[in-house]
Structure 1
Amino acid sequence: MSDPTTPTDAVAGTTRRHFIRGVAAAGASTVAAASLFEAPGVSDLLGDSVARAAGAPTPFADFRAVAASSADAFEVPEGYRAHVVIKYGDSFANTDGTQLRFGYNNDFLAFFPLEGKPDEGLLFVNHEYPAPFFQHGVTRGADKSVAQLELEQYSVGNSVLHVKKDAAGLWQIVSPSPYNRRITGKDPECEHTGPLADETNHPRVGTSSKGSLANCSGGITPWGTALSCEENFQDYGSDPATSAYGWNRLDPEYDSALWSKYGWVVETDPYDASWTPRKHTALGRFRHENTAFRALDGKRFVLYMGDDVTNAGVYKFVSTRPFIPGRRAHNLRILEEGTLYIASFDHSRREFAVDGDTTPITPTSGVGYWREVLVTELEDTNVRIRRAVEAEEAGAWNRHFATNRPEDVEVDVDGTVYIAFTNNSGVKDRHGSIRKLVEAGNDPTAVGRANEFRWVDYAGGGDRGEDKPAGERGFSSCDNLVFDREGNLWVVTDISSGSLAGTPGAARWYRYHLNNAVFMIPRSGPNAGIAFRFANMPAESEGTGPYFTPDERTLFVNVQHPGEETASRGVYGDVSTYTSYWPAGNKTTGQNPSTPLPSLVAVTKLPPNAPPEERRPNVIPPPPPAPEGRRPQPEPGRDGAKPRLRVADVPRRRAQAQLLRGGLPLELTVDEPVRATLVLSAKLPTLVGRGRRARRKQKLVVLGRATKSLKAGRTELAVKLSPAGKLRVRALRGKDVTATLTIEARDAAGNRSSVKRNVKLV
């Protein structure tokens, strides 16, 4: 192939700053730092639901949160542009003449920069599983033709895409390119490494396998390779009479009852299209979700992983070889030899009394240690460890090792490990949580009972309440995680399509959430701990693999399995029966009925002075243009007029005792249905700093707030104080202070009006 560019410093990590900017979005760190266990502060926002980072905002850290939606559309906040880069079946090519097609159900993705080309790079993308109904209509493994099975084979694995910004700032596929490549469920032959890569002693594993499949999430390495995780390998080779896939009709190698060729972490060099992928048996064989590394110069390399199964464990691998920056040939052997460990928590699962609850009945912090995984437990890891643990102590697995489905694991720049526990109906955990883990002495290689790690449940999923702004009601069923360079935590959600609002099996505890979404959670500053909704996914889909470019001017997001429930109630070929038309159409509005296609989306923030030709809608698909010669007709409630507000009976003076008992009464009249947010705030003396440096400053404090859906006409209501607000008012002890009542009303079209009134508290 023609002279491929080698990895840049941003990936190789030759300097700390380059390293963090290049790979922090993948959850990597090169430095040790003091462990931190501060409880995340949670404070309400004043007025608009605007997310702000603690430091200098990135293009994605300052936005107006979007409300939950059940529409068949991809939506980001106004001021952002979203466009489809590539979708299932799209063609691209290598310069050697090989014609390629983008695979199905794209999941993990990572951006690999090209040296000296800031607006150009490589995207490594996983394709998790096929969709027989949409691809050819035959859903029973025993009934498929060889051609249909081979179509499914080709649609999984990985894509390597050369991408570049065009003149309008849109990412496009460079084709042909020497980097463009497909790895499928059949090709190429993958090399096995590590202790089980042995035809004589481990014939079920052997030394090679045909391609890669079940490629869920993954990770990157500091030496510039991609790691792809083979997750639900068990679906491909079971009884073809009952399996959705039945690939063992093509080759018994796909039968997990006979072979152990799949279920590994696979390493690939995206910069070299001739690279032979390597499956590393030292990392164990289980339903791998992702990888996240901790690399300290000259020290043993550590890789964290989750087993994406309900009641499964969290793992880490500690290499034998040290990580040496700049020694790529040496580092490429790191994952071949080392020791695997599984986390043992003093109490591993978050349990609840009632389905949908957000307050657990079990501890939310504690300690644990890393238990060694024996070589004899590397194959079918979950089953063998569980059997050994239960033999030693009955019930020990569920008490100490079983967790609530660990999907993503990421590592912050200070070494703190974040784990996304999606959910577990067995212990009534319907919303999941994000757990934070700090190693003993902040040493990632610390293992054994003598080196206890500490953990705390950092953020829990679930409804924060109707009184919260629409974009802040809370997340549920967290999946992939990613950090931006200012330390904000980005979360995508993975509520099962059959449980989402609007489906026959809709679950009441997800009604508030509607479609799956992307959230940003600031981890410091006044909005720490609040999940702000940044993007809504189309009907019956989930967002996966969020990844920032090194300059953080673009966020790539995969949209996986839109219209997933169609297979259970649709008619193949009759598009009108499909539950999603995305991305070409919108089922909700009846726009352009078409087959739903998994797609890769790029999101960028528009500069305020962006020319009209660069402005693209913040919704995919955009509304259809009005017919030529006709003026567009406004939709009901979308006339562009702001709602009219009239406020009456707000007392100019309010006794503090009256405020504590009944809040602040008022009368509000609106000319159309609105969602009204009322916030009572005041500037109060607040102690800032600690010790001798502590001093009092005037700080704006929210005393109380209310959010109401109002019909057109007059309504009497009151803003009552929050518990914290009551404490602040009592602390005034009769001192006069002026409070401000801010009222904002938003109509169905998103038009806003606001008013303010001052009230003297005496």
Structure 2
Amino acid sequence: MLDPLAAADAASDTPAPAAAPASGHTRRGFVRGVAVAGASTMAAVALDSVGATTLMGDSAVAAGPPTPFHDFRAIAASPADQFEVPEGFRADVVISWDDEFENTDGTKLRYGFNNDFLAYMPLPGKTDEALLFVNHEYPAPFFQHGNADGATKTVAQIEIEQYSVGNSIVHVRRGAEGTWDVVSPSPYNRRITGTSPACAATGPLSGTTQLNADGTSVKVEATMAGSLANCSGGITPWGTALSCEENYDGYYGAAGYGWRNKPGTERYDEKTYAHYGWVVEHDPYDASSTPRKHTALGRFRHENTAFRHVPGKRFVLYMGDDKTNEGVYKFVSSRKFVEGRREENLKILTEGQLFIAKWSPEGRRRFKNTDGSGLLTATSGRGEWVLVNDSELVDTSALLRKRLGTDAFNQFFATNRPEDVEVDADGTVLIAFTNNSTVNDRHGAIRKLREDNNDPTAATFSWEDYAEGGQTGRADVGEQGFSSCDNLCFDESNNLWVVTDISSSSLNNPAAPYYAYHGNNAVFMVPRSGPNAGIAYRFANMPVDAEGTGPYFSADGSTLFVNVQHPGEETSPSKGAVYGQPSTYRSYWPAGNKTAGVNPSLPRPSTVAITRIPQAAGPGPGPGTPGPGTPAPGPGTPPPGGSTTIPPTTPKPAPKPTGKTSVSVPSAVKLATLLSRGVTAEVRVREAARLQVQLRVRVPKVGRSKARTITAVTVRRTVSAGEHDVRLRPGAVARAALRLRRGRKLQAEVLLEVLPVDGSPRKLRRSDRFRVS
């Protein structure tokens, strides 16, 4: 069919050359490269001019300079309850569920549950500081309060769950050793939860009453409370983050989370109120901004977003409906992105037209055999974009099936769970189809979609399946293949990174033998050029029952952030688990290791930072390719500067201390020293614990500024029994306040809070004081 917006472009704009590439990497591309056409785009133009980029071949833009992650020795599949990376790298937990962090206004916050999407958003002018925008997809009632029965849940239990979903905006800073810590307090730190703040609805449905596919009425109110079911997401070139509300339909009823047991929660009833199921736009840099839910983008199980911007063309956003036999969507805005016109750009997602992809000869990959073998369908074809009417936006998939017919929808529009959509540097769209048991697709595939004439507003496209999951038959360690691809991202050299999403119930389960080769879920790197192009190399292993989500590189490419979601998810009273008794849980991660029988602990979803350990120059794998598939080193002492596993396979020996838990600091510290290097607190604990160490300073009145106690910095970490040094350096806001008091005598206090790693509520508190002169 004819795309009216593409036709308008053709009439009103100077057409872009057919080979002109997109100027937008997507949500997991580098933030510095998304606002304008950058070096990678220029490379694509040059390569295309000599015919190096083809419709479905490996992207020629993959050729590029070595990155900190470009060479490594692939690791073997593993069922172990630990996070593992290759030799020469280290993995560190940045923040975990229920960790406290603080805003400078004194608001105490806690990190949400089941972290999914992550965006690294640099702070202007600060190469070692950034904001992490993180989604929290869904609660885990058993781990949070012990009651998974929606029919009997109390108000207090519901409120715990409501606070644990939504989003976290966390200010982080890289220290001298290259590891990342939370900056707390910080004016950027905040939470979006299942109840607040109020979000504004935009677009054609805001403030209206619509009809569901079954003919019942549903209200799309202009103001909506909070956000939930936040799966993946994306970024925009004007500096905002997009959060996708996916499985929004199980919160109200007793068969789900049972939030109806709390008075005043009727707006969580998705059949009566359309408060959830949207793409939500946030400004992480502005705490006073109002989140906006864009009704023009449709209401379905949104997984993620990926934008494409070509100068002179209308702005385009790609999306997937993360459910078996659902579709891939494209939103074509009525507006164009113009760099520097932020207020106008903020209107881009409020008006336009939504389209669904129609695949020919068929959208799904169907297989003959239940083990995922015997492909029955084509691996390439053509397609067109079919308009979604405004009246179909509120219940998008169901209303489209009603109009198009179930049989036609299943043949031409349905796909195998589109969990991720990304835009390559040359404009090609990559789609991760995770799996689909209804058509015997056990392992999924990555598909390439290329718009005709490389025009993002085109009405038609070509497609080809690019990489398929399943066993490869390769013998080398770490090259056996991925299964159930989920989130994708690109590194600086345009290599493709893939995380997997085999369901927790199928992992390491004899009843699902087709996944036996895979072990736990994992992270893979796929070179896009060179002698190893197309081979998936295993880079990281997840703990028991967990999946890796939200892979995102720092702006300089030196850190790969990965969220670890739902460790121990299959823990259940029906399988012998007892709430409050960690030894009965399926995972002890990150404080312990179930398979090794080490330190039974409450499993906690966490954000992990992976960095390369600096080493002296020497022989090693060649640039641009992974090294030979040799096994990772066996258990041993963690390498200097960090560990290849969380928790360490063999922790450094630490004798059980005698005496009491304590914290000690010098009696006096110079202000200049405190500002430049901080103060070191010596902490002693009798057992493995989660620590919170806080530096507070009493500052006297200066001018109109009142005397008060400020929290200069908060540090959290999980430690083993023994003695530990904790460096406390005031944050930027605190340093500014302290400089105003230069020459005055100040009193400071270090507060230590110790929490058991098993998640029990008991706490120990200790403190010590010092003078600042």
TM-score category by the smaller chain? 0.7 to 0.9
Answer whether contact 1:25 1:482 (CA < 8 A) is retained.
no
Alignment match of 1:603 (pick from 595, 601, 610): 610
Within the alignment, does 1:70 sit opposite 2:79 as a pair?
yes
Aligned to 1:521: 526
Aligned to 1:734: none
Cα deviations by residue, 1:411-467 (Å, 9 ceiling, x for unpaired): 0011000000000011100000000000011001112xxxx20000000000112x4
Mapping of residues 201-240 of structure 1, within 5 Å: 204-238=219-253, 240=254
Aligned to 1:351: 366
Instruction: Report the CA distance shift for 1:191/1:291 in structure 2 as closer, same or farther (over 3 A).
Output: same
Report the alpha carbon displacement of residue 37 of structure 1 after superposing the two structures with TM.
2.9
Alignment match of 1:119 (pick from 128, 143, 168): 128
Report the alpha carbon displacement of residue 246 of structure 1 after superposing the two structures with TM.
3.1
Report the alpha carbon displacement of residue 626 of structure 1 after superposing the two structures with TM.
6.1
Report the alpha carbon displacement of residue 523 of structure 1 after superposing the two structures with TM.
1.3
Answer whether contact 1:264 1:279 (CA < 8 A) is retained.
yes
Mapping of residues 647-726 of structure 1, within 5 Å: none
Alignment match of 1:535 (pick from 540, 563, 568): 540
Alignment match of 2:340 (pick from 312, 316, 326): 326
Aligned to 1:422: 434
Report the alpha carbon displacement of residue 200 of structure 1 after superposing the two structures with TM.
5.9
Letter of the 2:441 counterpart: D
Cα deviations by residue, 1:62-88 (Å, 9 ceiling, x for unpaired): 110111000000000010010000000
Aligned to 1:453: 461
Answer whether contact 2:23 2:309 (CA < 8 A) is retained.
no
Alignment match of 1:146 (pick from 149, 155, 163): 155
Q: Percent identity?
A: 62
Mapping of residues 369-518 of structure 1, within 5 Å: 369-390=384-405, 395-447=407-459, 452-465=460-473, 467-501=474-508, 503=509, 506-518=511-523
Aligned to 2:296: 282
Aligned to 1:368: 383
How many residues align? The count is 592
Mapping of residues 146-295 of structure 1, within 5 Å: 146-199=155-208, 204-238=219-253, 240=254, 242-247=255-260, 249-250=262-263, 251-295=265-309
Aligned to 2:565: 560
Report the alpha carbon displacement of residue 58 of structure 1 after superposing the two structures with TM.
0.6
**What SS class does the counterpart of residue 207 from structure 2 fall into?**
coil
Answer whether contact 2:116 2:550 (CA < 8 A) is retained.
yes
Work out the CA distance in 2 between the residues paired with 1:359 and 1:329. Answer: 52
Report the alpha carbon displacement of residue 23 of structure 1 after superposing the two structures with TM.
6.3
Answer whether contact 2:26 2:306 (CA < 8 A) is retained.
no
Within the alignment, does 1:89 sit opposite 2:98 as a pair?
yes
Aligned to 2:355: 341
Letter of the 2:649 counterpart: P
Gaps of 5+ in 2: 1-20, 212-217, 618-637, 657-773
Aligned to 1:572: 579
Answer whether contact 1:20 1:485 (CA < 8 A) is retained.
no
Letter of the 2:647 counterpart: P
Aligned to 1:103: 112
Letter of the 1:593 counterpart: P
Instruction: Report the CA distance shift for 1:25/1:162 in structure 2 as closer, same or farther (over 3 A).
Output: same
Work out the CA distance in 2 between the residues paired with 1:21 and 1:280. Answer: 19
Aligned to 2:768: none
Report the alpha carbon displacement of residue 256 of structure 1 after superposing the two structures with TM.
1.0
Report the alpha carbon displacement of residue 475 of structure 1 after superposing the two structures with TM.
0.2
Within the alignment, does 1:616 sit opposite 2:642 as a pair?
yes
Report the alpha carbon displacement of residue 55 of structure 1 after superposing the two structures with TM.
3.3
Aligned to 1:296: 310
Work out the CA distance in 2 between the residues paired with 1:271 and 1:40. Answer: 37
Cα deviations by residue, 1:397-420 (Å, 9 ceiling, x for unpaired): 111000001000000011000000
Answer whether contact 2:115 2:136 (CA < 8 A) is retained.
yes
Gaps of 5+ in 1: 1-15, 42-52, 631-762
**What SS class does the counterpart of residue 387 from structure 1 fall into?**
helix
Instruction: Report the CA distance shift for 1:63/1:399 in structure 2 as closer, same or farther (over 3 A).
Output: same
Instruction: Report the CA distance shift for 1:231/1:492 in structure 2 as closer, same or farther (over 3 A).
Output: same
Answer whether contact 2:25 2:424 (CA < 8 A) is retained.
no
**What SS class does the counterpart of residue 548 from structure 2 fall into?**
strand
**What SS class does the counterpart of residue 426 from structure 1 fall into?**
helix
Q: CA RMSD for the aligned pairs?
A: 2.4
Answer whether contact 1:302 1:445 (CA < 8 A) is retained.
yes
Report the alpha carbon displacement of residue 322 of structure 1 after superposing the two structures with TM.
1.0
**What SS class does the counterpart of residue 478 from structure 2 fall into?**
helix
Work out the CA distance in 2 between the residues paired with 1:508 and 1:143. Answer: 37
Cα deviations by residue, 1:67-110 (Å, 9 ceiling, x for unpaired): 10000000000100100000000000111111100000000000
Cα deviations by residue, 1:554-576 (Å, 9 ceiling, x for unpaired): 00000000000002522212211
Work out the CA distance in 2 between the residues paired with 1:196 and 1:336. Answer: 10
Aligned to 2:601: 594
Report the alpha carbon displacement of residue 524 of structure 1 after superposing the two structures with TM.
1.4
Name the TM-score, length of structure 1 as normaliser: 0.75
Instruction: Report the CA distance shift for 1:89/1:559 in structure 2 as closer, same or farther (over 3 A).
Output: same
Letter of the 1:481 counterpart: L
Instruction: Report the CA distance shift for 1:624/1:67 in structure 2 as closer, same or farther (over 3 A).
Output: closer
Answer whether contact 1:248 1:255 (CA < 8 A) is retained.
no
Within the alignment, does 1:316 sit opposite 2:330 as a pair?
yes
Letter of the 1:244 counterpart: Y
Instruction: Report the CA distance shift for 1:435/1:220 in structure 2 as closer, same or farther (over 3 A).
Output: same
Instruction: Report the CA distance shift for 1:499/1:81 in structure 2 as closer, same or farther (over 3 A).
Output: same
Aligned to 1:37: 55
Report the alpha carbon displacement of residue 38 of structure 1 after superposing the two structures with TM.
4.3
Answer whether contact 2:526 2:534 (CA < 8 A) is retained.
yes
Answer whether contact 2:234 2:242 (CA < 8 A) is retained.
yes
Letter of the 1:339 counterpart: Q
Instruction: Report the CA distance shift for 1:384/1:21 in structure 2 as closer, same or farther (over 3 A).
Output: closer
**What SS class does the counterpart of residue 470 from structure 1 fall into?**
coil
Letter of the 2:87 counterpart: E
Answer whether contact 1:83 1:603 (CA < 8 A) is retained.
yes
Work out the CA distance in 2 between the residues paired with 1:22 and 1:541. Answer: 22
Work out the CA distance in 1 between the residues paired with 2:571 and 2:130. Answer: 36
Answer whether contact 1:292 1:303 (CA < 8 A) is retained.
yes
Answer whether contact 2:116 2:137 (CA < 8 A) is retained.
yes
**What SS class does the counterpart of residue 382 from structure 1 fall into?**
helix
**What SS class does the counterpart of residue 282 from structure 1 fall into?**
helix
Name the TM-score, length of structure 2 as normaliser: 0.74
Instruction: Report the CA distance shift for 1:593/1:22 in structure 2 as closer, same or farther (over 3 A).
Output: closer
Work out the CA distance in 2 between the residues paired with 1:59 and 1:21. Answer: 21
Instruction: Report the CA distance shift for 1:539/1:201 in structure 2 as closer, same or farther (over 3 A).
Output: closer
Letter of the 1:616 counterpart: G
Work out the CA distance in 2 between the residues paired with 1:342 and 1:131. Answer: 33
Report the alpha carbon displacement of residue 298 of structure 1 after superposing the two structures with TM.
3.6
Instruction: Report the CA distance shift for 1:426/1:168 in structure 2 as closer, same or farther (over 3 A).
Output: same
Letter of the 1:309 counterpart: K
**What SS class does the counterpart of residue 404 from structure 2 fall into?**
helix
Instruction: Report the CA distance shift for 1:402/1:286 in structure 2 as closer, same or farther (over 3 A).
Output: same
Letter of the 2:461 counterpart: F
Instruction: Report the CA distance shift for 1:248/1:210 in structure 2 as closer, same or farther (over 3 A).
Output: farther
